[in-house]
Amino acid sequence: MNTSEMSQIERTFYPGWLMVSQLRGGQEVRDGEGLYRRACRLVQEVKATLTEAGYSDISRDHMVYALCALLDESVLNRGSTDDGYLTWRRDPLQAHFFWHPECR
């Protein structure tokens, strides 16, 4: 991977990494639905950006799946049953984007 590709990947995934670091830092989630909607938009934007950049479907899906898993784990394993936890338990991003055929 050359420098320009890495910069593109860094720019593409930075918002997700920032969200994860805030959650792992103990940020309480009072609006679980709002955070979930933001995370879904983020995943959709990442998927579109990777597609536009010419990544293969399999590479794109692996990267998006990893982002979903990281976000899911960051919300669900904070040791808190706040609104974020309750929202995510109903429909984790991995299930939403990879197990519901209408979301593909």
User: Which pLDDT tens digit goes with each residue over 71-83?
Assistant: 999 999 998 899 9
CA distance to 10, 34, 83, per residue, from 31 (Å): 27, 5, 6
Q: How many CA atoms lie within 13 A of 78 on its CB side?
A: 25
How is the chain split into domains, by residue range?
A: 32-103
User: Which pLDDT tens digit goes with each residue over 32-65?
Assistant: 999 999 999 999 999 999 999 999 999 999 999 9
* 57-76 and 3-24 helices, crossing angle to 10°: 20
| Cα(95)–Cα(38) distance, integer angstroms | 16
Q: Which helix (H) or strand (E) holds 33?
A: helix 32-52
Give the CA-trace dihedral at 79, 83, 86, 90, to 10 degrees: -140
Number of H helices, E strands in the chain: 5, 0
Query: What mean pLDDT is predicted for residues 17-23?
Result: 95
